[in-house]
Amino acid sequence: MISIVIPTFNEPNCNDLFNSLEKQTDKDFEIIIANASKNTPQYPQINQSVSVVQSSRGRGLQLNYGAKQSAGDILWFLHADSKVLPSAIATIKKNLSQTVNAGAFTLCFDSRSLYFKVISTCGTLRSKLTRIPFGDQGIFIKKTLFNSLGMFPEQPLMEDIALMKKIRKNKKKVIILNEKLFTSTRRYIDKGQLKTTILNTWYQCLYSFGMSAEKIAKKYYA
């Protein structure tokens, strides 16, 4: 079974994501919302098991807490503003094997804008070259490997990069699927497309050169 872990903080709803999960051809999954705000995000009723657990704030911490409550042997970490294709669960199961231990999807934005097509294409190329996908690509991993690596570092940002670097250091194979996963452009629209792109790249560089995730988070959420 696949356990889907969704970290939330002040999310009004998970409607689009849940509607896309309801359409999965493979129904062998559970959903765990690791919520760090007072208000629980709204979501439509679906046939799969849905659990909401309260966690302290911090994406790495929330993801780990949700994973600890999971029953599946595969973990799939999704952002609340994502949407997936009906074949996503089946595709994950098909591609994980004795040699493939983790992976992610090809990122697309929910916009036909050329700007976002360029951003998503560059992001996919980067992840295929480095084998370090970001969280908005829907990272999935065998639970045994996840636990053996000590899970995500419990930091507010860049936990996805840190985990994937651990996987690469341990010489475990990561696959970037051709199947698309769609994510919202809302943060880009709210804060400015070019500004957000430049800042995201800058923060990633700062993290690569040793700045702590906590310091970066203060700038990111300012």
Helices 193-208 and 114-130: crossing angle in degrees, nearest 10, is: 10
CA distances from 126 to 33, 65, 111 (A): 29, 29, 20
**Quick check: 192 and 116 in contact, CB under 8 A?**
no
pTM of the model: 0.94
Instruction: Give the pLDDT of residue 190.
Output: 85
Instruction: Give the pLDDT of residue 36.
Output: 93
Domains of the chain and any CATH numbers: 2-220 (3.90.550.10)
pLDDT per residue of the chain (222 residues) written in tens, 0 to 9:
999 999 999 888 899 999 999 999 999 999 999 999 988 888 888 888 999 999 999 899 999 999 999 999 999 999 999 999 999 999 999 999 888 999 999 999 998 899 999 999 999 999 999 999 999 999 999 999 999 999 999 988 999 999 999 999 999 999 999 999 999 998 888 889 999 999 999 999 999 899 999 999 888 887
Of 94, 117, 93, the C-alpha closest to 106 is 117
With a CB cutoff of 8 Å and minimum separation 6, the contacts of 124 are 106, 107, 176
